[in-house]
Amino acid sequence: MVKRKNRCSFCGRSEDEVALLLTGMNGFICDDCVRQAEQIISENTAGKAHKKPGTGLDMHDIPKPRDIKAFLDQYVIGQDSAKRYLSVAVYNHYKRLSQPEDDDVEIEKSNIIMVGATGTGKTLMARTIAKLLNVPFTIVDATIFTEAGYVGEDVESILTRLLQVADYDLPATERGIVFIDEIDKIARKQDNPSITRDVSGEGVQQGLLKLLEGSIVNVPPKGGRKHPDQDYIHVDTRNILFICGGAFDGIERKIAQRLNTHVVGYDSIQNQQRIDTKDLMKYIVPQDLKSFGLIPEIIGRLPVLTHLNPLDREALRRILTEPKNSLVRQQIKLFAMDGIKLTFEEGALDYIVDKAVEYKLGARGLRSIMETIMTEAQYNAPSEQAKELTITRQYAEEQIERNEKMKPSAVF
């Protein structure tokens, strides 16, 4: 009877073909496979000494504030002040995640609130930063939330969406970024007590407190309402960065009331001369948010306050052509896919900007006008033989006038 030779469970070689064969509980491994396994482990763990367990972050991989701002400059025109605040806050947040656990000085989280009119770039900046850092990122609308127990979504659904974006990778979720849009829509309706509950205003603000501060939250894996027999995912929000944005329409009146402390006399005239009345948003302070209707507790959990400047004609003109994903480049790309070379005359671009200023909808107004002008060309050009198309000012004016005649009540 021939004795069966032991073989390596990994490479299959017999004990006669290797220098050493180690015996395990249910298998064997040769010395060559041990060396290869050690090499693979070394290659995959090299350079991870700076990483904090559970975060997957390396301080050498995190871009510096200047690099973050330079990346934002490629996609967002202007808003230098907001970019600086955002870059520093995000960089400090990820430095905090890389801090050793045994450090005596614990760095606290700095959530951000951005105030600016619609179409000034709040959502775009948050999305661009998430793209740069390659972390889970989600945008939620504050208007859908109500106080727990009422019709609407609970605030915990924010984390459900972040989990879904991260493919239910819990460590990745716990270092992600959440952008809460329309935060101004959950402002307290009035300061005076009422017999009715403010379930979609102050009630939602109270529910957000524990998420912003940092706590262990029970999250339904599939969203929806909680019920006693449900299995929950326990998400720690201490390391999730929250960026809130809102237009805060009408807050300029609150700022003006605060700045105009002397309503009569020579001093009031001097103060008025020093104040830029065309852009009162630059003078915003947390006190103005409180006057608008945010509760002091939530303002305290959003320590980084920055504003976005209103877009003037020059900024709108640059937005149209300069960013990597500018509207002009998008249209050129769309037509290039049909083999058509598209060009815009300077007069046509100036006309688009003039209309955007007239409609007062910021960068979003540019897209509405561009789509109106290009719809007819997008419909006809793919079926025609022409390989070049030039958009003139006259053509742009004709398309806008045609649209206004067809829809006299249309508002961009």
Read off the pLDDT of residues 336-390 as tens digits, 9 standing for 90 and up.
999 999 999 999 999 999 998 888 777 888 999 999 999 999 999 888 888 899 9
311 with 120: CB under 8 angstroms?
yes
Is the model's pLDDT at 56 over the cut of 50? no
What is the C-alpha to C-alpha distance for residues 36 and 218, in angstroms, rounded to an integer?
A: 43
Q: Are residues 97 and 239 in the same domain?
A: yes
Question: DSSP string spanning 91-129?
Answer: HHHHHHHTS-TT-SSPPPP--EEEE--TTSSHHHHHHHH
Q: Are residues 190 and 272 in the same domain?
A: yes
Q: Which of 246, 278, 307 is the last residue of a domain?
A: 307
Provide the phi-psi class of 362: left if phi over 0, else alpha when psi is between -120 and 50, else beta: left
What's at 248, amino acid-wise? F
Range of the domain at 11: 1-46
Q: Are residues 350 and 277 in the same domain?
A: no
Q: How would residue 405 be classed by pLDDT, with cut points 50, 70 and 90?
A: confident
For residue 12, being part of any structural domain is answered with yes
Q: How would residue 263 be classed by pLDDT, with cut points 50, 70 and 90?
A: very low
The structural domain count of the chain equals 3
Among residues 143, 132, 130, 152, which one has the least CA distance to residue 240? 130
Task: Assign residue 335 the CATH number of its domain.
Answer: 1.10.8.60
What's at 387, amino acid-wise? K
Mean pLDDT calculated for residue range 294-310: 90
Q: Are residues 257 and 127 in the same domain?
A: yes
Q: How would residue 43 be classed by pLDDT, with cut points 50, 70 and 90?
A: low
Is the model's pLDDT at 260 over the cut of 80? no
- The pair of three-digit structure tokens given for residue 282, joined into one six-digit string: 């630059």
What is the C-alpha to C-alpha distance for residues 214 and 169, in angstroms, rounded to an integer?
A: 19
Q: Which of 250, 278, 307 is the last residue of a domain?
A: 307
Q: Are residues 258 and 387 in the same domain?
A: no
User: 265-269, 309-313, 393-397, 408-412 — which is least confidently predicted?
Assistant: 408-412
Kindly state the percentage of the chain with pLDDT values over 90.
22
170 with 152: CB under 8 angstroms?
no
What is the C-alpha to C-alpha distance for residues 208 and 237, in angstroms, rounded to an integer?
A: 11
204 with 147: CB under 8 angstroms?
yes
Identify each DSSP E strand in 311-391 by its residue range: 341-344, 388-391
| Phi, psi of 99, rounded to the nearest 5 degrees | -70, 135
12: exposed, middle or buried (C-beta count within 10 Å: 0-12, 13-18, 19+)? exposed
Task: Assign residue 155 the CATH number of its domain.
Answer: 3.40.50.300
- The pair of three-digit structure tokens given for residue 1, joined into one six-digit string: 């009877």
For residue 59, being part of any structural domain is answered with no
Q: Are residues 223 and 298 in the same domain?
A: yes
Q: Are residues 299 and 319 in the same domain?
A: no
For residue 60, being part of any structural domain is answered with no
Q: Are residues 351 and 230 in the same domain?
A: no
Query: What is the predicted pLDDT for the residue at 25?
Result: 75
